[in-house]
Amino acid sequence: MREKIIALVPAAGTGTRVGDTLPKQYLEVNGRPLIYHALAALGRVSRINRISVVLSPQDRHWQSLMADAEPGRTLGARVTTVPLGGATRGASVLNGLNALAGELGPDDWVMVHDAARPCLRVELIEQFIDELEQDRIGGLLALPLADTIKRDDGNLRVETTIPREGLWRAQTPQMFRYGLLQAALQRMPGATDEAQAMESLGHQPKLVMGEGANLKVTYASDLTLARILLREEH
């Protein structure tokens, strides 16, 4: 690829749903902080020029928890931190994009990945880049919905069944052209993911097949599953 790729990892959240006082991205998973596993996968992809981690300005854990976990050969100087995390994911990503001004051109790529998705495989990242490198906009990993979907009536009673045909469950990474993504998040800073922000400008992000193992750790049970998946991969 002629264009640069910068991986942007928003990691300013508190992760309270996991039920631990430590922010979710720093919980121990197989001897290392949760975020380490995501960064290590990104760091093994040579086409990614650099990884920028957006931290909360009040972050007190990165330095102490990541110092012993980071083998220089895998991550080293390719990982930089930006203490500009906002109150929402969108704000953190936009602040991270603004911090890259002057380093990236409008057609360069920004690959946004959740710190809480530790089971991302290097091979999947490579396939993802292959799918998008000639795309004029970008896209996201996603999975077609397999379960039957119900909408409740507000009282824990089924109101209706929603047809699942054509419905996909969004994952990360999500990768878009720098200029377009910056404009999209400026327009829709409250977007729940980057693809939604791009949709607000009338763009149609490309759907790239993801994997069920690329789970997002939200609850304590997800943490247990992540430990099992990472143990099996290694």
Summarize pLDDT for 17-63 with one digit per residue, the tens.
565 678 999 999 999 999 999 999 999 999 999 999 999 999 989 98
Can you read off the two tokens belonging to residue 70? 């980071």
Contact 197, 181 (CB under 8 A): yes
pTM of the model: 0.93
Between CA 109 and CA 113 the distance in angstroms is: 13
Q: Please give the CATH topology (third level) of the domain spanning 5-135+172-202+212-233.
A: Spore Coat Polysaccharide Biosynthesis Protein SpsA; Chain A (3.90.550)
Q: Using one digit for the tens of pLDDT, what is the confidence trace for 168-198?
A: 999 999 999 999 999 999 999 999 999 999 9
Q: What's the CA gap between 47 and 75, in Å, rounded?
A: 14
Q: What are phi and psi of 89, to 5 degrees?
A: -60, -45
- Rounded to the nearest 5°, which phi and psi values hold at 40? -65, -40
- Structural domain spans, the chain: 5-135+172-202+212-233
Give the rounded distance of the alpha carbon of 158 from its chain centre: 32
Map tokens 């490309």 to a residue.
Answer: 206
Specify whether the CB–CB gap between 53 and 80 falls below 8 A: yes
